[in-house]
Structure 1
Amino acid sequence: MNIAVSMTKANQLEQKNKHEEAAKVYGDILAKFPKNTRAQAALNRLRESSQRDLNPSLEAQQKLTVAFEANDYAKAASACAALLNNHRKSHFLWNMLGKCHLEEGNLDEAATCLNKACELNPKDPSTFSSMADVHRAQGHIDNALALFDKALSLDDSHLNALNNKANTLIDLGRLNEAAPLLNKAAKLAPENPVVLFNYSNVLLKTGKTLEAKALLEQATELAPHLTGAQYNLAQLQSRDGDTEAAIQRFETMLEDNPSDDRTRADKFHAQAQLNDWSWIEDYQQARRQLGLTGKACAPFAALTFEDNPDLLRLRIQAHANTALPKVEPAKPLPADLMGSDRPERLRIGYFSSDFHDHATMRQMAGLFEAHDQSRFDIIAYSYDSTPEDAMRSRIGKAVSSFVDISQLSDGEAAKLVVKDGLDIAIDLKGFTGTSRTTLFAHRLAPLHMSYLGFPGTLGTTAMDYFVGDHVTCPAGSERYFEEHLIRLPHSFQVNDDKRTLSGQQFTRKDCGLPETGFVFCSFNSSYKITPAEFDIWMRLLDQVENSVLWLLECSETAKAHLRQEATRRGQDPERLIFAPRIAQEEHLARHPVADLFLDTFTVNAQTAASDALWAGLPVLTLPGRQFASRVGASQLSALGLPELIAKSAADYEARALELASDLDALASLRSTLQRNRLSAPLFDTKGFTRELEQGFDMAHARYLQGLPPAHLEVRDPPALEAEFPLAALSPSPAEAINPAP
């Protein structure tokens, strides 16, 4: 090769703007003579010139970047399109235009632009990451994950790829794979609030709440208007007892977004936990649209606001439409199986996060042990992260198999469950706590049932049946439920007749109670106490000399509010005495020290009432309209004590006063309770189990006949139902939650 001739040829090609051909000649020279400085300098000059021609000026690029980061995607896209007229091979412009289309939801246009950018520079990780975002938005999840992997192979610290691949895995329920990606992203960008928030979500879902809370605190400090982080932090603060801080955070969020019904409802519920009854007046002003026109509100909070089951169903349906937007319908029975015989053993799956020492299992443990194993194959599907304890061990021994699905996504869990071939799948949580009711959007079994966890409809066609009874679900209440009702003949509530009380003999002195005087008791959660019952309780203290009101320990703020409310009603606040929280067996053993348990109205005592009755303490209740307000009446009717079921607020007050004034009558009642406790249906675990199994058989028999779900009665309703029908107990919403004077 003659270097001089080749250099001359390259220069001539340059002058004719044949830059690619000139660059090839310079490259050929350097291939033969790598130390030729003239050829190297000429090639570098040519590349710099070509790069200037390829991309717009740095100033133009900066302006586009500023517009994009300001979310002015239309302006940035328009500028990119104009500049591409002169810079058709600019990777920067095609990449930027593709990202603008992605942000505006123009997915096909985004894909076209990003593919062109990838052709121009196949080594830029940001292009592959953006292409992955497009495929994710289009629902092409496998393609998206492959493209994220390609981006990370080019740059394993690419923040967008780490974050968005993790989010894709979270959507799939693959939390264990998402966590290390977000952990790495958080270390790379410790001041990126979105990354911290996303990582906190994974930690929350895997039970690492302390670490999640710390990340949320950082994220909210960095980005005060990051709503999701603020909301989750407020939820954790409320759960941890820092309710005042949670309320303040909810209020700040409402200042930014006054129409956020979800936050408003949670604020009301948090105030109720503190017995700050100012929420009631605020609720009355918002009640017509709350949870119906804006964001759906949490179902559990909704059922505490008022005793209005029609309104409650609408609110829960709104939540269910958000939580389970797509529900897989039940598959019809194949024609060749129509009218076939019942399998020798029906396969029943119970789903819960409470298979440990929890109130639900304290009630249900005996049920699992009492199931007829010759006719039913019982499988417990657990999705909690609580360590093994004695209760879980007990349940594990009682069921046919215990399956941990805590680390599986909903889709993965559904595939496993379908493979197990269940006949009936039962949700024990509903919309409470660490619920995974979303699992039931998949068709896990021919029949889905809701039982025990949530005291009301789940508002979704994902559920075929709801297990109740003739008291909680009297004639006419069908319209309050999306599900079909299975009415058990006695109480819907299962109880474990093997529960033991501590051997300790508690005295009044042990409990901090006066040696003499009548002890009214209400071991309900503080949020259930409203002015409606509290007014009555204060009048009872007025009329029963030396009496006291024994309540369950709550926060210092809640206690202060209750004492203030007592003072406002002319009572000595020292007559309110708070019982510290102690071990369950000891808690049961101290109940007999009280004289009468006073139930709350809108949401009755549930496990608290059955605890009291099992311990021998009479419970006085007033049934309302919604399921949660009729649980006490259900328990008492199944215990054969209708005299403790009041017919009105005035009757409730009169009966309480009568029992407090006639100790012989109260002693006779307690004696009846002690007799019935061991013989009546409420605490007959085996009898209850046979009735529930009959309900399973009836529902499954319809399925085998090719019939759709229908309201079912395990047997004729008890005669007691006529004594407190629903129509006679329909207070107006205003009556249910009158604000304090």
Structure 2
Amino acid sequence: MYRSNEIEPNSNEDLFLLGNGKLAQGNFNEAINIYKKILESLPNNLSVQLNLCVAYFKKGNILLAKRVLTQIVNSHPNHGEAWNNLAKILRETGEIEEAIQCYKKAIHLLPDSQPIESNMLFAYNYCISKSSEEISNVHIRWGENNSDLNILSKNFSNEKSLHRSLRIGYVSPDFRKHAVMFFLKPILKNHDSKKFRIYCYSDTKYPDDDTHFVQKQVPHFFSCYNISNHVLAKKIQDHRIDILVDLTGHSSKNRLLVFSQRPAPVQVTYLGYQNTTGLKAINYLITDQWSSPPEQKGHLFAEQLFRIPDCFLCFQPSDHTPEVNISPLFQKGYTTFGVLNNFSRMNNLMISAWIKILKKVPKAKMIIQSRPFSDLSFTQKFMQRFKQQGIDPSRLTLYPYGSLDDFYLRHHDIDLILDTYPDNGASTLCQALWMGVPVLTCSGTTFASRVGGSLLHTLGLDDLIAASLDDYIQKAVYLTQHPEILIHLRQILRPLLSQSTLCNGKLFTQKLESAYKKMWRTYCGYAL
């Protein structure tokens, strides 16, 4: 979220800097009090108002931040960053179409802001009113508008040889405690150092233990935070990277405009974004046969789909996770459903499906954890939606985000995780399976709607893959009527996952390296 560092030079300037410091340190209450104090003498100062909204949001007062931002855009309709901030909050609260309209206004006012454009494209993935073709088209148009920008060179000095080690470059802002790391760690640990030289280009602002893990695993680690796209592209070219891998897509703080400059002869997008980037400068998108079956429409992607065997993901759980507990329905006598995901995925289709499930299973209860439930007003409004449909609010338990330890322990109270559609979970599903909790998913026709199915299919759990939302509802009800299935799955899921290809980092990395070799072979002009 955009934060201002500007204020009119006056006696409040030092106070403003102090407030910004408190905000950066996570002392949100102190920052809020300081900003309010400044506004007593500068009630119309936009910079202070914007930072106050950031502090409200980070504290968890999401609806208050939304209300203040709405007032700001009404009084300052030409302030692009305010529209962008409002859009982010609307996306966070599941108001996706409204968020997209705000992003469009921000882009109109700030036409050269690629991060805002990516924010909008990211939001499109959650928009259930748009077809896959419409969502693809906005990505492709973005790619066309950002293609061939400052191309460094169409002639590369990289030796076209199949008999030398390949230089692989990974680009990400998420070499830190982030969902992507659950899938990236086993790859970095298992790369063959004799055949592949690994370079990591990190946009991480605040390094942590996971950042240090990456630094220890790879021989070449470069911090590129605050380095311009052009300078970074030139550095990558100077390193003579053979295959450059984007791990972010249109997620926050991406470097897609580095890829648009073509600093490497082969460019790939993988892992962080289950859709096309829209850039034809990126040659391949890594997926698998289940997530992107052969009949899937290739024209929806700017990249060529490269399907690796089995699932395109490899999961490494945290080092210290709680043990799997006895199924909670033993103690409680009823089924507890769980949804542990970001609220952007909890669209009206899903909420309607969950209400139908709870109506059909009147003794069942439901746990939902997501960021907006830190806001009491938002939580009450959400519960009211269920109450209006005849669901007693006492059957719902809503939690905000907490620590990773709290997240794992939450599974001890859940019998069945309900995945979201059309944007499935990934790391949340793997963590649920590791904690012994079965996952019910619904697969559609898009990459993002088939990730859950790919994970379950790899484990041989196809009975937990629904073909439609009606099927999803029926399967959820059926499982509550057959608790022995849930109890059995809880006993076997962790060993099943740990012994599967999903947790075999060495085998998976060999498959990925084989894919890189094939991509390089094609570039060199050899037939596969």
The TM-score normalised by the length of structure 2 is: 0.81
Query: Which residue number in structure 1 is paired with residue 369 of structure 2?
Result: 552
- 1:280-313 CA distances to partner (integer Å, 9 max, x unpaired)? 6x689x79x9999996562222211226322222
Asked whether the equivalents of residues 333 and 703 of structure 1 are also in contact (C-alpha less than 8 Å), the reply is no
Counterpart of 1:426 (choices 219, 241, 245) is 245
For residues 364-379 of structure 1, the aligned pairs below 5 Å read: 364-379=184-199
Deviation of 1:394 after TM superposition, in Å, equals 2.1
Deviation of 1:683 after TM superposition, in Å, equals 2.3
Deviation of 1:649 after TM superposition, in Å, equals 1.1
- Supply the AA of the counterpart residue of 1:304: Y
Per the alignment, do residues 330 and 623 of structure 1 end up closer, same or farther by CA in structure 2, a change over 3 Å counting? farther
- 1:323-377 CA distances to partner (integer Å, 9 max, x unpaired)? 778252762467x95xx43243211111112222222113321211011112111
Counterpart of 2:343 (choices 526, 531, 538) is 526
Per the alignment, do residues 497 and 526 of structure 1 end up closer, same or farther by CA in structure 2, a change over 3 Å counting? closer
- 1:151-209 CA distances to partner (integer Å, 9 max, x unpaired)? xxxxxxxxxxxxxxxxxxxxxxxxxxxxxxx99xx79934999xx99x99xx99xx889
- Supply the AA of the counterpart residue of 2:514: Q
Q: Percent identity?
A: 25
Deviation of 1:404 after TM superposition, in Å, equals 1.7
Structure 1 runs not aligned, ≥5 long: 1-181, 713-741
Residue 444 (structure 2) pairs with residue 624 (structure 1): yes
Asked whether the equivalents of residues 506 and 590 of structure 1 are also in contact (C-alpha less than 8 Å), the reply is no
Deviation of 1:437 after TM superposition, in Å, equals 2.8
For residues 574-723 of structure 1, the aligned pairs below 5 Å read: 574-579=394-399, 581-585=401-405, 587-671=407-491, 673-705=493-525
Deviation of 1:490 after TM superposition, in Å, equals 1.9
Per the alignment, do residues 579 and 242 of structure 1 end up closer, same or farther by CA in structure 2, a change over 3 Å counting? closer
Residue 458 (structure 2) pairs with residue 458 (structure 1): no
Moved more, 520-529 or 394-403: 394-403
Per the alignment, do residues 327 and 348 of structure 1 end up closer, same or farther by CA in structure 2, a change over 3 Å counting? same
SS of 1:471's equivalent in the other structure is: coil
Cα distance in 2, alignment partners of residues 644 and 534 from structure 1 = 19
- Supply the AA of the counterpart residue of 2:194: S
Query: Which residue number in structure 2 is paired with residue 383 of structure 1?
Result: 203
- Supply the AA of the counterpart residue of 2:302: E
Per the alignment, do residues 298 and 442 of structure 1 end up closer, same or farther by CA in structure 2, a change over 3 Å counting? same
Asked whether the equivalents of residues 325 and 412 of structure 2 are also in contact (C-alpha less than 8 Å), the reply is no
Cα distance in 2, alignment partners of residues 640 and 504 from structure 1 = 20
Cα distance in 2, alignment partners of residues 477 and 612 from structure 1 = 31
Aligned residue pairs, count: 504
- Supply the AA of the counterpart residue of 1:651: D
Per the alignment, do residues 646 and 291 of structure 1 end up closer, same or farther by CA in structure 2, a change over 3 Å counting? farther
- Supply the AA of the counterpart residue of 2:278: G
SS of 2:442's equivalent in the other structure is: coil
Cα distance in 1, alignment partners of residues 428 and 232 from structure 2 = 33
Query: Which residue number in structure 1 is paired with residue 162 of structure 2?
Result: 342
Asked whether the equivalents of residues 355 and 392 of structure 1 are also in contact (C-alpha less than 8 Å), the reply is yes
- 1:571-602 CA distances to partner (integer Å, 9 max, x unpaired)? 11011113464543553354254211111112
Query: Which residue number in structure 1 is paired with residue 287 of structure 2?
Result: 468
Moved more, 472-481 or 294-303: 294-303
Deviation of 1:547 after TM superposition, in Å, equals 1.1
For residues 498-577 of structure 1, the aligned pairs below 5 Å read: 499-503=319-323, 515-553=332-370, 554-555=373-374, 556-577=376-397
SS of 1:621's equivalent in the other structure is: strand
Moved more, 569-578 or 459-468: 459-468
Counterpart of 2:131 (choices 308, 311, 314) is 308
- Supply the AA of the counterpart residue of 2:186: G
- 1:256-302 CA distances to partner (integer Å, 9 max, x unpaired)? 68899997786566345335x6x66x689x79x99999965622222
| Greater share of helix | 1
SS of 2:238's equivalent in the other structure is: helix
Per the alignment, do residues 463 and 233 of structure 1 end up closer, same or farther by CA in structure 2, a change over 3 Å counting? farther
Cα distance in 2, alignment partners of residues 403 and 356 from structure 1 = 14
Counterpart of 2:89 (choices 270, 273, 284) is 270
Counterpart of 2:154 (choices 328, 331, 336) is 331
SS of 1:563's equivalent in the other structure is: helix
Asked whether the equivalents of residues 526 and 558 of structure 1 are also in contact (C-alpha less than 8 Å), the reply is no
Deviation of 1:249 after TM superposition, in Å, equals 4.5
- Supply the AA of the counterpart residue of 2:501: P
- Supply the AA of the counterpart residue of 2:427: T
For residues 425-444 of structure 1, the aligned pairs below 5 Å read: 425-444=244-263
Cα distance in 2, alignment partners of residues 293 and 189 from structure 1 = 30
Deviation of 1:664 after TM superposition, in Å, equals 2.0
Cα distance in 1, alignment partners of residues 289 and 367 from structure 2 = 32
Structure with bigger gyration radius: 1
Per the alignment, do residues 442 and 190 of structure 1 end up closer, same or farther by CA in structure 2, a change over 3 Å counting? farther
Asked whether the equivalents of residues 152 and 263 of structure 2 are also in contact (C-alpha less than 8 Å), the reply is no
Per the alignment, do residues 702 and 321 of structure 1 end up closer, same or farther by CA in structure 2, a change over 3 Å counting? closer
SS of 1:608's equivalent in the other structure is: helix
Asked whether the equivalents of residues 497 and 684 of structure 1 are also in contact (C-alpha less than 8 Å), the reply is no
Cα distance in 2, alignment partners of residues 326 and 225 from structure 1 = 37
Asked whether the equivalents of residues 518 and 547 of structure 1 are also in contact (C-alpha less than 8 Å), the reply is yes
- Supply the AA of the counterpart residue of 2:455: Q
Per the alignment, do residues 233 and 488 of structure 1 end up closer, same or farther by CA in structure 2, a change over 3 Å counting? farther
The TM-score normalised by the length of structure 1 is: 0.59
Deviation of 1:466 after TM superposition, in Å, equals 1.4
Per the alignment, do residues 582 and 240 of structure 1 end up closer, same or farther by CA in structure 2, a change over 3 Å counting? closer
Moved more, 684-693 or 537-546: 537-546
